Amino acid sequence: MIPAHIPWQLPPPRIPLVDRGPEREELDAHLALARRIGRPLRFVVTGVPGVGKTAFALDWLNRLSARFPDGQLYADLRDGDTWRPEGTRDVLAGWVGALGAPSVPEHTDQLTGLYRSLMRGRRMVVLLDDVGDEDQIRPLLSAGDSLTVITTRRRLPGLALDGCHTIELAPLDAEHGMELFAAVLGAQRVAAEPVQARRIVHGCGGLPLAVCLTAAEYAGRPRRPLRDRPHHVEGLDAINDTIAAIVDALPDDAKNLFVRLGVHPGTTFTPSALAALAGVRRADVDPPIRTLLDRQLLAPGPGAFGGETFVLPDVVRHPAAAAARALPPRERDDARRALYLGYYVPTASEAAQLLDPGRLFAVDAAPSATTAYLDDVPAAREWFDLEYDALTTIVLVDGEDGCLEAVHLLVDRLWSYWHQVRSGKHVVTAHRAGLRAARTCGDHRAIGRMLTSLALLLPAAASTEALDCLTEAESLFREAGNELFAARTLHYRGLVLAEADRPDEAAKAHRRVVPACVRLGEPRVAGLALDRLAASELARLATWEPGNDDHRTTAEMAAVDASAAHTILTTARDPLNAALAALTWAEAELACGRRDNSEKLTTAAIKTLRRDYPRQVPDACDRLARWADAMGDPTRATSYRVEAAALRREDAHDGTPGGTA
């Protein structure tokens, strides 16, 4: 029996719907599942402002009208953040009247009971539009065979307890954004200026409401060319106003965090970074994060190093940047400094120490409780990968206007990552920026460290500049009484001289390094110097005929030095340089005629490099190809050369900068 009162309250759609087939299929599947297992037919459609939640819900519900013939109920719960209990009563009073109740009870609880009684046995659809709070709509949820859809710009996880399945709408891609723009403005006008149309649609950020409002603006002025003010998107104004209202209604802690998000130089945020940015303890940042997530002002990002990350939805980026610009300059600078020195520098120090355990920093970072939890080498690399764009932005873009102390400290911490994972011309630029920052700060130890690092990065053709850098650095370290760093600088001088094809001077420098570093308690650098000495001794062998006494003596010296280097670097927990020293040792063992030991050393070394240090593999393969030639194994030599070439092509294809840091 069909009820006497059949309300049809759903409003007509305001904007066309495009590209929501997958989401509609998902809801259809969950609707069928809910019917089959007897769960309530309740669904939540969420997404950022302007993404088309209401249009999507109306389209889906209208498609289902034949399956729910007993009517439609609708309530627009706009301004949900300021919703009052009496608003729920008004909705219920209107609904029970529409369902045929002869009188309306006074109290909300009585109204709720009457509403659910009237809905019993009916198959209806109910749309609760623009909901702002879970509690405000629970009295409006009916049971039985009726279908309820809730649209909200907030995440309402508590509704899962009420049997609701949630689907989140994403912005449109460029193709479907153009389709929607043409549907409102007209295909001919879009076809006449396709490039300008794409610019306008791109400026709308894939938001259907912005696309439609902007198209309507142009439609109202039929002679206005699309190229007129193409970077101004009228449709975003309404959405930005909505976001501004959401931000204004935030609790103080969430608002404080949001207005500082525009200070962040990256696009992916860890909880520790957000805590530093907000100036609170790590444990105290969770409530404002939760609030921003609920309001769609923050979104979950990709997982990283065993933890969570967050991103800004595209539609929120401009309002966040504008909010940051509106901060007083002193407050903005303080937030930037807290983020850089309270999160980035301490966490980069922790990550760099994992990548290179034996490394000493010129200037120690202050410890911080907000550093990300990193517990192994893969996690350290993943952190650098995740934060790399932000780190290089701080160094290369924010250097002049930001925190200069953070610039040179971060360049110092990035060294191991650059050396092991990626490099290129930008690394030299970064070190020059770090050197300028250290000079401006007047920190002599930091200046010396930037000078030594820069010297190692300069090409052989710039050896004069590199040696000048090292001379100044050594002088600064000795003036400060830092004999250890001065000895390390002597090692770097040997590297530069070797690269400049001055082997005798390089060997002389490295011979001075070994006893000095051992005396000063820095065996790792002594090991590096011994490896370089062994390499220079092997280079001399190439000019002599095998078999004479000098050849045998020099080969044995190289083997002794390389073996000692390998032992020292292994003990110092430097697996990368220990593996490279093993290759030098293998070459020396082959020169001494000990082929079996040479074979074992190369096998172990390349295994370590392939597993843990892939960026070093192409150069190692070049060395192994020469080693295989000396072994009389041209097939293996060719295999190593093919592997090196393939890896370099792959790096070039992926856009990974090459070179050695």
- Read off the pLDDT of each residue in 125-151 and give the average, rounded to a whole number: 89
Q: What is the pLDDT of residue 231?
A: 54
User: At 383, is the pLDDT very low, low, confident or very high (cuts 50, 70, 90)?
Assistant: very high
User: At 571, is the pLDDT very low, low, confident or very high (cuts 50, 70, 90)?
Assistant: very high
Using the CB atoms, write b or e for 342-355: b if 16+ within 10 Å: bbbbbbbbbbbbbb
- What residues form DSSP beta bridges with 126? 73, 148
Spatial distance between the Cα atoms of 55 and 32, rounded to a whole number of angstroms: 22
**Could you tell me how many residues make up the chain?**
661
Please provide the DSSP assignment of 381-399 as one string.
HHHHHHHHHHHHHHHHTST
Whether pLDDT at 481 is above 80: yes
Which tokens go with 252? 């103080």
Cβ neighbours of 607 (radius 10 Å): 11
Mean pLDDT of the chain: 88
Q: What is the pLDDT of residue 655?
A: 44
How many angstroms separate the Cα of 452 from the Cα of each of 44, 177, 415, 455? 59, 52, 11, 5
Q: What is the pLDDT of residue 359?
A: 73
Which tokens go with 143? 């049971």
| Residue 77 phi, psi dihedral angles, 5° rounding | -100, 40
Spatial distance between the Cα atoms of 285 and 283, rounded to a whole number of angstroms: 6
Whether pLDDT at 418 is above 50: yes
pTM for the complete prediction? 0.79
User: At 657, is the pLDDT very low, low, confident or very high (cuts 50, 70, 90)?
Assistant: very low
User: At 314, is the pLDDT very low, low, confident or very high (cuts 50, 70, 90)?
Assistant: confident
Q: What is the pLDDT of residue 407?
A: 93
Q: What is the pLDDT of residue 81?
A: 45
pLDDT tens-digit map of 24-81: 999 999 999 999 998 999 999 999 999 999 999 999 999 999 999 999 999 998 754 4
Please provide the DSSP assignment of 149-167 as one string.
EEEESS--GGGGGGTEEEE
Whether pLDDT at 396 is above 80: yes
Spatial distance between the Cα atoms of 452 and 466, rounded to a whole number of angstroms: 8
Q: What is the pLDDT of residue 648?
A: 87
Spatial distance between the Cα atoms of 450 and 409, rounded to a whole number of angstroms: 9
User: At 170, is the pLDDT very low, low, confident or very high (cuts 50, 70, 90)?
Assistant: very high
Whether pLDDT at 109 is above 70: yes
Whether pLDDT at 659 is above 50: no
DSSP state of 42: E
pLDDT tens-digit map of 515-540: 999 899 889 999 999 999 999 999 88
In this structure, of 130-134, 275-279, 404-408, 413-417, the range with the lowest mean pLDDT score is 130-134
In this structure, of 77-91, 373-387, 584-598, the range with the lowest mean pLDDT score is 77-91
Is 125 strand, coil or helix?
A: strand
User: At 126, is the pLDDT very low, low, confident or very high (cuts 50, 70, 90)?
Assistant: very high
Position with higher pLDDT, 651 vs 502: 502
- Read off the pLDDT of each residue in 553-557 and give the average, rounded to a whole number: 91
Question: Which amino acid, one-letter code, is at 441?
Answer: C
In this structure, of 361-375, 416-430, 437-451, 522-536, the range with the lowest mean pLDDT score is 361-375
- Read off the pLDDT of each residue in 542-564 and give the average, rounded to a whole number: 83
- What residues form DSSP beta bridges with 268? 311
Which tokens go with 612? 């843990």
Spatial distance between the Cα atoms of 270 and 658, rounded to a whole number of angstroms: 29
Which tokens go with 110? 């009585």
Q: What is the pLDDT of residue 374?
A: 82
CA-nearest of 475, 468, 477 to 446 is 477
Spatial distance between the Cα atoms of 1 and 8, rounded to a whole number of angstroms: 18
DSSP state of 226: T
User: At 661, is the pLDDT very low, low, confident or very high (cuts 50, 70, 90)?
Assistant: very low
User: At 137, is the pLDDT very low, low, confident or very high (cuts 50, 70, 90)?
Assistant: confident
Element (H, E) at 433: helix 425-441
Position with higher pLDDT, 140 vs 363: 140
- Read off the pLDDT of each residue in 216-242 and give the average, rounded to a whole number: 79
Whether pLDDT at 96 is above 80: yes
Whether pLDDT at 83 is above 50: no
- Read off the pLDDT of each residue in 244-258 and give the average, rounded to a whole number: 93
Spatial distance between the Cα atoms of 295 and 313, rounded to a whole number of angstroms: 11
Q: What is the pLDDT of residue 237?
A: 78
Element (H, E) at 148: strand 147-152
Q: What is the pLDDT of residue 505?
A: 92
Angle at 325 between CA 321 and CA 328, to 5 degrees: 145
Cβ-proximal residues to 329 (8 Å cutoff; 6+ apart), any chain = none
Half-sphere exposure of 548 (CA within 13 A, CB side): 7
Whether pLDDT at 288 is above 90: yes
CA-nearest of 102, 131, 128 to 114 is 102
